[in-house]
Amino acid sequence: MNIEKTKNAVRNVPDFPIPGIQFKDVTTLFKDSQILKELTDGLYEMYKDKGITKVIGIESRGFIMGPLLAERLNAGFVPIRKPGKLPAAVFEESYEKEYGVDTIQIHQDAINKGEIILLHDDLLATGGTMDAAVKLVKNFYPKKIYVNFLIELEDLKGREAFPPEVQVNSIIKYGI
């Protein structure tokens, strides 16, 4: 995978969604078929021997690579969504973001005890969203949890939000 080409393809959007935030737009990665293929292949290589049984994508950009990776890994795909989007009984977790408080949910029947889980999202900033997702998944007593991001903003030290037993990987790193 050409990391520099991929990194250069990310669009920077200043002051979105609020002033002072430098938004990293990954949609520009997905419109290039070669980059999309390289991302999918790279993620597959990272996790092909881990025994992943479910890939969980975080709303909404985790819904793009998550299903592609799940299919390649012969695993199921599960969405984590914002409140009011899932029709059956849910577990719920609230968390603080860089610019407010949010809540995410997962269906209570989404995962079986002892599964090996890969949580995927587009970007690691402070780690709040994914930390909440890890807490949701722990309700199911998984055997192992892996966490993956396309982009990591290293200066924000989001990696520190996760316990040592959760393996965290990212493809593109900005910062330090």
Asked, for residue 129, whether it belongs to a domain, the answer is yes
User: What is the reported pLDDT for 176?
Assistant: 58
Q: What is the pLDDT of residues 111-161, one digit of tens each?
A: 999 999 999 999 999 899 999 999 999 999 999 999 999 999 999 999 999
Asked, for residue 3, whether it belongs to a domain, the answer is no
Asked, for residue 117, whether it belongs to a domain, the answer is yes
Closest CA relative to residue 122, chosen from 148, 85, 104, 143 = 148
**44: exposed, middle or buried (Cβ count in 10 Å: 0-12, 13-18, 19+):** middle
Closest CA relative to residue 55, chosen from 97, 138, 108, 115 = 115
Supply the DSSP string of 54-86, one letter for each residue: EEEEETTTHHHHHHHHHHHHT-EEEEEB-TT--
| Domain count for the chain | 1
SS3 163: coil
Give residue 120's domain range: 50-174
Asked, for residue 72, whether it belongs to a domain, the answer is yes
> Which CATH number do you get for residue 91?
3.40.50.2020
User: What is the reported pLDDT for 98?
Assistant: 64
User: What is the reported pLDDT for 7?
Assistant: 94
Closest CA relative to residue 157, chosen from 131, 125, 129, 130 = 125
- The catalytic residue among 45, 92, 96, 98 is 98
User: What is the reported pLDDT for 1?
Assistant: 84
User: What is the reported pLDDT for 168?
Assistant: 97
Q: Which residues pair with 107 in a beta bridge?
A: 90
**Does 159 qualify as catalytic in the annotation?**
no
What is the pLDDT tens value at each position of the chain, 176 positions in all? 889 999 999 999 999 988 988 899 999 999 999 999 999 999 999 999 999 999 999 999 999 999 999 999 999 999 999 999 999 999 999 998 766 789 999 999 999 999 999 999 999 998 999 999 999 999 999 999 999 999 999 999 999 999 999 999 999 999 85
- Phi, psi (5° rounding) for residue 15? 60, 40
User: What is the reported pLDDT for 32?
Assistant: 94
Asked, for residue 62, whether it belongs to a domain, the answer is yes
CA dist 31 and 53 (Å) reads 28
Asked, for residue 133, whether it belongs to a domain, the answer is yes
Asked, for residue 36, whether it belongs to a domain, the answer is no
Asked, for residue 26, whether it belongs to a domain, the answer is no
**Does 98 qualify as catalytic in the annotation?**
yes
- The catalytic residue among 61, 81, 93, 115 is 61
